[in-house]
């Protein structure tokens, strides 16, 4: 699910829609280590913006975990969700908002179908 569908609420928690998009990608792939390029491409966030505005904040608040060497021996850093209580709460919030959106979409679809008929 695209984060921009519920980012107004979650972006208030995270401070920006880009961080909301990053969290959505990380939450949907919690065990996958991603390079900055992979993470930014999937989230639709510029790499320069990630490095300038988001990376240090997400690392500082223990939302993002960093690994400097990958399992295949590459020396570039990779990132994934940290294993912290605040991450658990953010993922739970992400899931609740996603569920609410899915339920709202079906309600809106039913209302639209009824209106059209």
Q: For the domain covering 3-116, report its CATH number.
A: 1.10.10.10
pLDDT single digits (tens) 64-116: 999 987 666 667 899 999 988 888 888 887 777 777 767 665 655 555 455 44
Answer yes or no: pTM beyond 0.85. Answer: no
3-state secondary structure of 68: coil
CB neighbours of residue 66 within 10 Å? 14
DSSP 42-82: HHT--HHHIIIIIHHHHHHTTSEEEESS-TTS--S-EEEE-
pLDDT single digits (tens) 28-53: 888 899 999 999 999 999 999 999 98
The stretches of 29-84 forming alpha helices (DSSP H) are 36-43, 47-49, 55-60
CA distance 73 to 58: 25
Query: In the chain, where are the structural domains located?
Result: 3-116
Q: Is the pLDDT of residue 1 over 50?
A: no
């Amino acid at each position: 699910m695209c984060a921009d569908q519920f980012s107004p609420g979650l972006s208030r928690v995270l401070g920006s829609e880009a961080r909301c998009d990053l969290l959505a990608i990380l939450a949907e792939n919690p065990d996958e280590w991603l390079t900055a390029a992979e993470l930014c491409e999937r989230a639709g966030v510029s790499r320069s913006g990630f490095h300038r505005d988001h990376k240090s904040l997400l690392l500082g608040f223990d939302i993002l975990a960093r690994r400097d060497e990958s399992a295949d021996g590459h020396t570039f850093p990779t990132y994934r969700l940290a294993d912290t209580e605040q991450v658990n709460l953010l993922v739970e919030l992400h899931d609740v908002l996603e569920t609410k959106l899915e339920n709202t979409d079906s309600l809106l679809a039913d209302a639209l179908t009824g209106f059209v008929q």
